[in-house]
Amino acid sequence: MIAEAGLIALWLAFALALLQLTLVGFGLAGGKQELLGSVRPIAVAQGGLIVIAFALLIALFLRSDMSVLLVVNNSHSMKPWLYKFAGTWGNHEGSMLLWVTVMGVAGAAVALFERALRRDTHMATLGGQAAISLGFYAFLLFASNPFARIDPPAADGQGLNPLLQDPGLAFHPPTLYLGYVGLSVAFSFAIGALLTRRVDAAFARAMRPWVLGAWILLTLGITAGSYWAYYELGWGGWWFWDPVENASLMPWLAATALLHSVTVLATRDALRAWTVMLAVIAFSMSMVGTFLVRSGILTSVHAFAVDPERGTFILVLLGFYIGGALALFGWRVGAVREGAPFELVSRETMLVVNNLLLTVILGLVLIGTLYPLMTEAFGHKVSVGAPYFDRIAGPIALILMLVMAAGPLTRWRRDRLSVVARRLLVPAVIAIFAVALLAWVAWGRIGVLPFFGLVVALAVGAGSIAPLWKRNLRRTPLFTYGMVIAHLGCAVSLAGMACDSAFTVEKLAAVRVGDSVQAGDWTLQFNRISPIAGDNWTALQADLEAVRGGGAPVMLHPQSRFFASAATTTTEAALLTRWNGQLYVVLGQEAEDGRWQLRIWWKPFVTLIWLGGILIALGGALALIGRERRGWQLKWRERAAA
């Protein structure tokens, strides 16, 4: 019965979305104001129903209901409960249901909590949200039904891909989707504003918290995904420029640009059309990413079950929503007046440069991701790998970071170049010092990109805290702290990336029990290898004793894990985290002579990459809280005065 109830909830949500869209259409275009009164309750009910549908699917997975096709294909009764739970979204249908659930909840949240927006724009926004949800509900109902039954029921399921059987699955996809799909709110806002022709500072102030919220979650999701790939895949790398990774990076780049342009619009009422464009692009990138991943049009390690019919369905949705939004933009944006002007040397200009550079990186990543598809259309087959992306996007990202340091030190509207330069003196001195130091210590031993990465990270790290210089720290607003911390996070993350590629020590060794290996400053003693058993796997586990200098030995246990229910082997790397880096050990195959392959990395300061990601998200959260709190304070003050 649970599956049927879930399907009914999904159908009802679909019907409510249709109703919501119709009411908004007749209410706004037909001038029937009285129809608009029920739009908000309907949006909330629609959100509630889709949450129920999703909860019921989770229940099916937790109960291991083997009469449901999706459970049979992607679960197994022997799995630990956490992976039964998280396995709900470890597959195509379940993750699409998560997608529409986030979209429905976001719509309900806009209906419940959005107070700053004009009523007609608010209604048009809810209409836009319903229109997008409608297509994805239809996709689930007609092409990816997660509740389909099989008769007779299977004896047991086929298990979940062992690479996914990790706590990372419980955290990474939901956060990523909250960010990914949360951007649909910005998209709907843009549609609403275009329909009602109201793009101004008030609109930007209303949209900003939603963009910020989605962006924080997207940042966390990407950071978590990167760390997960790093320790689970056992390659020691943290970013592979895989199409699916690019699919999450592109919305992030667009959302980062949007975050900054929306601030310009909110503060100075400039960049109106551009901000609307970015709001459309950000969620469009989420949809394009979904299409690329699910249609099987590009090969990727994040393989979903591929079905051309589904690809066609999403492509039609893509054409409808993105094409429709861009056509609306072309048709209506002429009616949006030019915003306020600004001087060449001003924070506005800095933010425009930030936006342009982010857009250029976005374009290059998009082209790199799609290039194999483009050449294939002309009969050539090529592949695009990490070297392209590193070489092309890397230098631009470094320039972007420099602008990031200068931006907050420049005043709004107009500033003097000499004054800005003087404020940048300390970071510049640090940069010169860093160049000299690095050239002396490591010249010729590290690549050009890591070299400048380290220099820029140091200079920008100093530059990012410069806005707090000589300020009354207790009276500095919270959102300024947020910006400082987020920018510092970028520098910290960059430092981690540069340290990893510049200073990583790698060692491949074949060792017998009793042997020891040297890697960097570490000595690893290979004590023994023994079989162990987990809930639904068995493993060969090595016991290694790692010692650095005269320190106390630490035990490390890398494993080679065998999963019976999917007949797959995974490597479980052993990680040892120290303040100045991570020791990463992977157990490989046994050779015929009884020696075991060990791959050992000492990665100095690699953890800074993810620490930086967390700082960026934290900065975003502080900015969000700071802005919202100021809004409430103003409201209370008004109320107290009245």
Partner 1 sequence: MRKLLIWLPLGLFLGFFALFASGLLKPDDRVITSKLVGKTLPAFSLPAAASDRPGLVSTELATGKPRLLNIFASWCLPCAAEAPQLLALAQEGVEIDAIAIRDARPDVDRFLARYGNPYSRIGLDARSGVQIALGSSGVPESFVIDGKGRIVYQHVGDIRADDVPMILQRLKDAR
Which residue, 318 or 547, has its beta carbon nearer to partner 1? 318
Stretch that binds partner 1, among 63-71, 98-106, 318-326, 413-421 (CB under 8 A): 318-326
Write out the E strands in 512-638: 516-519, 522-533, 537-548, 554-556, 559-563, 568-572, 574-578, 581-590, 596-604
Task: Tell me if 477 contacts partner 1 by CB under 8 A.
Answer: no
Given candidates 18, 82, 202, 333, which one binds partner 1 under the rule CB under 8 A?
A: 333
Dihedral through CA 86, CA 92, CA 96, CA 97, nearest 10? Answer: -50
Can you give the three-state secondary structure of 238-275, one letter per residue?
CCCCCHHHHHHHHHHHHHHHHHHHHHHHHHHCCCHHHH
Query: How many Å apart are CA 6 and CA 53, to the nearest integer?
Result: 4
From 189, 227, 230, 329, residue interacting with partner 1 (rule: CB under 8 A): 329
Considering the rule CB under 8 A, would residue 341 count as an interface residue with partner 1? no
Q: What is the chain's Cα-based Rg?
A: 26
50 binds partner 1 (CB under 8 A): no
d(CA 612, CA 619): 10
Does residue 518 interact with partner 1 by CB under 8 A? no
The answer to whether the beta carbons of residues 576 and 582 sit under 8 Å apart is yes
Out of 37, 167, 334, 395, point to the residue binding partner 1 (CB under 8 A): 334
Q: Is residue 506 part of the contact set for partner 1 (CB under 8 A)? A: yes
Contact pattern for partner 1 over residues 264 through 283, marking x by CB under 8 A: ---------x---x--xx--
Query: What is the Cα–Cα distance from 233 to 59, expressed in whole angstroms?
Result: 30
Q: Which string of DSSP letters, residue by residue, matches 111-169?
A: HHH--SS-HHHHHHHHHHHHHHHHHHHHHHHHH--TT-B-SSPPSS-----GGG-STHH
Residue 270 CB, nearest approach to partner 1 (Å): 16
Contacts for 631-638 with beta carbons within 8 Å, 24 or more apart? 631/116
**Nearest to residue 157, comparing CAs of 273, 37, 66, 46?**
66
Burial class for 364, CB neighbours closer than 10 Å (0-12, 13-18, 19+): middle
Using DSSP, state whether 519 is helix, strand or coil. strand
Task: Assess 569 for contact with partner 1 (CB under 8 A).
Answer: no
Footprint (CB under 8 A) of partner 1, residues 355-414: 370, 373-374, 376-377, 381-383, 385-388
Is residue 565 within 8 Å of 158, Cβ to Cβ?
yes
Cα–Cα distance, 294 to 314 (Å, whole number): 8
* Of residues 271 and 434, the one with the C-beta less far from partner 1: 271
Q: How far is the CB of 220 from partner 1 (least distance, A)?
A: 27
Q: Does 444 bind partner 1 (CB under 8 A)?
A: no
Q: Report in angstroms how near the CB of residue 190 gets to partner 1 at its nearest.
A: 12
Minimum CB distance to partner 1, residue 291 (Å): 7
Instruction: Output 12 or 540, the one with its CB closest to partner 1.
Output: 540
Q: Does 439 bind partner 1 (CB under 8 A)?
A: no
Q: What letter represents residue 633's amino acid?
A: Q
Rounded least distance, CB 293 to partner 1, Å: 13
From candidates 291, 526, 563, 602, binder to partner 1 by CB under 8 A: 291
Q: How far is the CB of 597 from partner 1 (least distance, A)?
A: 7
The answer to whether the bond into 427 is cis (omega within 30° of 0) is: no
Say whether 82 sits in a helix, a strand or coil. Answer: helix
Structure tokens at 535: 């809930």
Of residues 579-618, those binding partner 1 (CB under 8 A): 588-592, 597, 599
Quick one: which of 37, 80, 330, 395 contacts partner 1 (CB under 8 A)? 330
Q: 238 or 522, CB closer to partner 1? A: 238
Cβ–Cβ < 8 Å for 610, 223: yes
Please choose, out of 77-85, 102-110, 293-301, 524-532, the segment that lies near partner 1 by the rule CB under 8 A.
293-301
Cβ closest to partner 1, residue 430 vs residue 575 = 575
The one segment of 58-66, 255-263, 505-513, 577-585 that binds partner 1 by CB under 8 A:
505-513
Decide whether 343 or 506 has the Cβ nearer to partner 1.
506
Task: Report if residue 430 touches partner 1, rule: CB under 8 A.
Answer: no
Give the residue carrying structure tokens 């004896």: 155
Give, as ranges, the residues between 187 and 246 that touch partner 1 (CB under 8 A): 235-237
Query: Which residues contribute to the site for partner 1 (CB under 8 A)?
Result: 235-237, 273, 277, 280-281, 284, 288, 291, 295-297, 299, 308, 311-312, 315, 318-319, 322-323, 326-327, 329-330, 333-334, 370, 373-374, 376-377, 381-383, 385-388, 506, 508, 510, 588-592, 597, 599
